Structure 1
Amino acid sequence: DAAFVEDIQALVSDSCDGALSSNFHFDEERGVAPDLVGLLGGFSPETHFYCCGPGPMLEAYESACEKLGYTNVHVERFAAKPALTNQVADPVGYTVELKKSGKTVQVPPGTRLLDALLSAGCKVEFSCREGVCGACETRVISGEVEHRDSILTQKERAANKSMMICVSSCKSGTLVLDA
């Protein structure tokens, strides 16, 4: 059993000219993991790929998409990547300027950006505190972000136009955010 199978199949059936496709693979039914490179190969480089599931499956999916050169890869995680959960505070402090509110906040060493903003009385959106939900996504005006979320694609990270303030940080000493 998988969530929303009937709904997904209905969307695929109703799509124009086969614009949508889906594939369901249940390891316990087949006894082996799917050949993701084989399943995902042959699509246009502009195709958007979406996947949700357990961490090891998502890592295999992202690896297959990378091998195939796809950049529009989207995942939904139910928990942060283990490597990211230990890196949410920095050994070096930095400055954050909030353009809309006009506030400047010092983020001390060892403090998460979100915690520093909340301590300074800033009103910002957030929910999970793990970089998996996207509620805290904030537009970056300037500065270089240390991305530690599990949401943004590699392409979105490279563009440096937004960040998840609950887990991501600053590489450049100063960040200017649209908040």
Structure 2
Amino acid sequence: MRNKRVKNAFTILEVVLALVVLMFMAIMVTAVVPISLRTVRTSSDFTQATSLVQHKVNQLQDAGYTNLTGPGLGQNGLEIVDGTPGTPATNTLGNATATFEFTDTDKLWQYFAGGMDDTGARVTNATSPRGYLYIAPYAPSSYTNAAGATEYGLIRATVTVQWWTSKGQIQSFSATTLIPRVTVN
């Protein structure tokens, strides 16, 4: 009868071993959770940036070649960029180069952690998210017109969104599109 009772009970060694395994698993879980949360946030930030960049690329393609000017893209035009930049005033040859910002127009601070404080107000500092648009002539599309001037059949537009991680590292996502000159006959 004594043997039967011993067979049904746990030894102290088995209990200690089970506790060690349980502690090891708990330590592993607590080590993995912060990493996975950081990965989820990073993935979310890149998804937001991708969506914002694609939206801006679509706006530029809809705006068309002739509207790729400061006034055309600005608040007095299509409201694609911040303010109303004066340059380039025109871009009829497609040879203008310019950089614009669209941080305020698209309210980028709403899409990234750290862009708003606990009350929902915008945080404005050096690490606030930013959006940039760079336009330039696309050299392979150049040709000489009848007046002897160089014109470009395509304008290259690069859209960049940049933000900072909780560890203070800068991240960015960019996309480039070509906007064709459309001539109506």
For the aligned pair, the TM-score class normalised by the smaller chain equals under 0.3
Which protein is bigger by CA-based radius of gyration?
A: 2
The structure with the greater share of residues assigned to helix is 2
- Normalising by the residue count of structure 1, what TM-score does the alignment of the two structures yield? 0.26
TM-score with structure 2 setting the length? 0.25
